[in-house]
Every structure is written in C-alpha cells, then in structure tokens.
Amino acid sequence: MKLRIVVIAPENPAEWTAGLQTAMPEAEIINHAAQPGYDPAGIRYAVVWRPPAGVLAALPDLQAVCNLGAGVDAVLADPAFPAHIPVIRLIDPAMTRDMSAYVSYWVTHFFRGFESFRTAQAEGVWRPHDYGGPEDWTVGFLGLGEMGGRCAADLRRFGFTNITAWTRTPKQIEGVQSFAGDEGLEPFLRTARIAVCLLPLTPETRGILNARTLAMLPPGAFVINCGRGGQVVTADLLAAAESGHIAGAVLDVTDPEPLPPGHPAWGCKNVFITPHVSALNYPHTSVPVIAESVRAWEAGAKPAGLVDRSRAY
C-alpha cells in the first residue's frame, strides 16, 4: 500500500498537494478540501496549516503532523488532537531569510528615523538628521530559535554589536547577550531600545508584552512583533504608543487576527500593521523540507523541527 498523506491547508491546497505529489511520487497525496469523503484509513501524515478542530483526531493511523509554519499553536490548540502524535514545525531556510530581511528592514526604519523623512516630504522640506550608530542601539530578541538566530547574525553584519535575547533557558550564541527565565525578563527589557518578539505562543508567552512589561522598556523604545498576536496585550501597547513611551511599533501578527475593520490599532499613527507577511511559505521551498521530514520519520530518524509537546514548541 502506498504511503498516504493528507494536505489540510486553507490557502492554495491544490498547489501544496501537487507540489508534494511531484516531490513524493511514492506517496498518495490527498487534498482534504477537494476530496470530501476520502478514506482516512492508512493516512500516516497530515500536512497542515490551522486545521479545523477535530479533523486530525479523525485520522486513525496518523503518525505525525507536519505544520506548514514555524508556530504550531493552532495545531496544539485543538482539544481533540491526541497528545501522543508528534508535530513537526516547518524550518524553511527561505522563510528564515525573509524573516531576517523583514526584521532588518524595521530595525533600520526605526533606528535611522526614516519616518521623519516622510513627514518632511509631506511638508516639502529637506531635513536631514543624525542617526548615531547601530552600536548605540540594543536590539533585544524575545525568542532566539532558528529565525531569531539568523536575524541576530544578520543585524551584527550591519554593525549592531549590542544584541540581547530573552529565552526560557539560557542560550549561548556568539555575539548575543543571553537573559533567561522570569528573573531575566526585566533586566532584558530595561536595555532593549528595539524589542523584537519571535516567541512561540504558549501559556507562558501569552500576554508577555503588557502594560507592566512595556513600561520596563526604555522610554522611546520600539516594538516589533512577528511572533503571535496573543503575546501583546494590544490595548496596553496602543496606550504606551499614544503616550510616546513606545515611539513606534510594528505588528505583523495581531490579536484578533485578521484585525477587524474599525479596530483602534488601525488608527494609531506610530503603529504599523502588516498582514502576517513577514515570512511567507511557498511550495517550491517548503515542500522539499516536508518531504525530507516525512522520509526521515519513515526511516526512524528524528526530523529537524520536531516539537517538544511538553513545551509546546
């Protein structure tokens, strides 16, 4: 019997199915959306993005879930999803590269004060300003996984010599000052002129950026959130941005998401919203990674990105 894999993807399921079929001719790839009534027996893998609750629990022979993204919170949020099924998050080098470019763009935007040129242009005024050096700016990462590590390394190439990171347990990465655990959060926040959130969403990280912790950032700090919307208490961020304590923020992820029309965040002039596009995944780069994970699991090996379900990332 052929290896059976189901694709449960809300966007472009046909493209993902076709891509996987080409990469894995040895398998039967089923498109959940287009093949209603397919036989769930013998399906060993589900390739998913935000699967509807209960769908995975209906696959009796499921061996592992391959998530079409780095954050697996939506899979783990399904109360019916069996606790023993392994989940593999996507580590796509193209997404890691794109995230780093996105973060570098916004760090540059904020530290060079590019916004003021927009204002000057609207006034028709030639108004250069000094911006100091990147070494004067401490960029602090909340979360230092695959993506955070790449962002930190790339920023160092642009001269950001003061890079810090806050993680659950201490991490040693060249050129990055590590802070960890509950006791490390305040000293980490106190120095971060630009705080970049790349954390997974877990019960511990939900609401981690709130009125109390935002107040620990230096006055005039900037916040970039590319983790999950639930990590920022939006009302608290908007209040801090309106008071000027937070000089600017960019939210690529929001709570709720998508941000509904009329939400106050749309109108906050120093908060930029991008619609969850910091690092998109495309079949031509992600499918080979997924195929490798499935083949590794079939061969009894541990694929990169295997989630520790006790930590939820």
Site for ligand OXD, rule CB under 6 A: 69-71, 279
Known active-site residue 168: no
Question: Helices (DSSP H) in the chain: which residue ranges?
Answer: 13-23, 73-76, 93-111, 115-123, 146-157, 181-191, 211-214, 234-243, 283-298
Measured from the CB atom, the residue of 70 and 76 that comes closer to ligand OXD is 70
Q: To which residue do tokens 């019960």 refer? A: 203
Closest CA to 43 of 299, 304, 294, 300: 294
Q: CA-CA distance, 307 to 313, in Å (whole number)?
A: 5
161 backbone dihedrals φ, ψ, rounded to 5°: -90, -10
| DSSP label at residue 249 | E
Measured from the CB atom, the residue of 270 and 285 that comes closer to ligand OXD is 285
Rounded to a whole number, what is the largest CA-CA distance in the chain? 71
Using CA atoms, how far residue 179 sits from 163, 201, 219, 221, in Å, is 11, 19, 20, 19
Measured from the CB atom, the residue of 46 and 70 that comes closer to ligand OXD is 70
Q: Which residues contact 160 (CB under 8 A, 6 or more apart)?
A: 107, 134, 135, 137, 139
Q: How near is the Cβ of 250 to ligand OXD at its closest, in Å?
A: 15
Query: Which two tokens mark 151?
Result: 């962002």
From the candidates 89, 168, 228, 311, which is the catalytic residue? Answer: 228
Task: State the residue number with the nearest CB to ligand OXD.
Answer: 69
CA 275 to chain centre: 12
Q: How near is the Cβ of 183 to ligand OXD at its closest, in Å?
A: 28
Q: How near is the Cβ of 195 to ligand OXD at its closest, in Å?
A: 19
Q: How near is the Cβ of 76 to ligand OXD at its closest, in Å?
A: 12
From the candidates 112, 276, 309, 311, which is the catalytic residue? Answer: 276
Known active-site residue 295: no
Q: How near is the Cβ of 200 to ligand OXD at its closest, in Å?
A: 9
Using CA atoms, how far residue 171 sits from 165, 167, 177, 308, in Å, is 8, 7, 9, 17
- Provide the annotated active-site residues: 228, 276
